[in-house]
Structure 1
Amino acid sequence: MIDYSPRLFTSDAEIAHLGEGLLSRTLARGEWTHEAHLAATTYLLLRRPDIDLDRELPAIIRSFNESIGGVNSDTEGYHETITRAFLRGVRLFLEEADPDAPLHELVNDLLLSPMGRRDWPLRFYSREHLFSVAARRNFVPPDLGTLP
């Protein structure tokens, strides 16, 4: 297993900045890290019930990518299967989490959990399957095991 030391957060304001910055497309490219993806997703799930993430998250991420000069193609940008896998992982984590904990503590605990690891989807997908064009364009079911 690869050593994994995520960047942790110190305040709920940091998490809100990431979630709202994603929505408004005001984050700097350098802010959009793995940790930021999971922090923003957690924020949106818990603090923005007005947004249907299952329906709207793909467009939100694609639009953000384009706003920072990125592209959404067969080889870079938005990845449907990875997004869906991590959305499921965040929800799974939150089912067991303390709903009264400060938001940044929840995110930090998520980042330190199995679901927060960058390689979490590779528990269920072979590298070839997960990083295929088909998986980037559309959700594909895992080929190594069932997503919880």
Structure 2
Amino acid sequence: MPFRRFANDAAIRRIGEGLLARTLPKGEWTHEAHLGATLWLIRDRPEVDVDAQIAAIISAYNESVGGVNDDAQGYHDTITRCFVAGIRLHLADRMPDESLADAVNALLASPAGQRDWPLRFYSQERLFSVVARRAFVPPDLTPLPVVSG
């Protein structure tokens, strides 16, 4: 499926900063924006503990634009943490001086950037369960990739 490429680093930083400040227009919170903002947080914002804070960051943003985080909509912990694992795997193979836009666009073109990437690890029943939305559940098909060292 085609994806919207980011033209430059500033476009990604604007989305990430808008997420943190809860000022990003709701219509701009796309799949690409989710991945771009999360890669930016992991790579360029070391003061943000993504593992500890991502649920609160995204949930608060959702609520700020009128969204609801409940059993059927809004923040999904297992999907988010699956993509975080994919982003870390992707970054492990990138050059440290690569531009942010190049890193994000390469992620979006890779298997880890595809919308259905979590289904490589999870059955639909498990991934789309209320339990998986509310808290991380381990995969039932194959383990998530882990970046060592």
Both structures adopt the same fold (TM-score exceeding 0.5): yes
Q: Of the candidates 96, 100, 103, which is equivalent to residue 97 of structure 2?
A: 100
The answer for the alignment partner of 2:23 in structure 1 is 26
Task: Give the TM-score, by structure 2 length.
Answer: 0.96
In 2, the alpha carbon distance for the partners of 1:131 and 1:53 equals 22
Say what the alpha-carbon RMSD is for the aligned residues: 0.6
* Alignment match of 1:65 (pick from 62, 67, 71): 62
Structure 2 unaligned segments of length 5 or more: list them.
none
Instruction: Give 1:54's match in structure 2, choosing from 28, 51, 55.
Output: 51
Once the two structures are aligned, what percentage of the paired residues are identical?
60
Shift, 1:98, TM fit: 1.5
The superposition leaves residues 73-99 of structure 1 with CA deviations (integer Å, 9 ceiling, x where unpaired) of 000000000010000100000000121
Pair 1:137-2:128 in alignment: no
Unaligned runs of 5+ in 1: none
Asked if 1:43 is matched to 2:43, the reply is no
String of CA shifts for 1:69-122, please: whole Å, max 9, x gaps: 000000000000001000010000000012111100100000000100000000
Give how far 1:58 is off: 0.4
Q: 1 CA distance for matches of 2:99 and 2:45? A: 16
Aligned length: 145
Q: CA deviation at 1:18?
A: 0.7
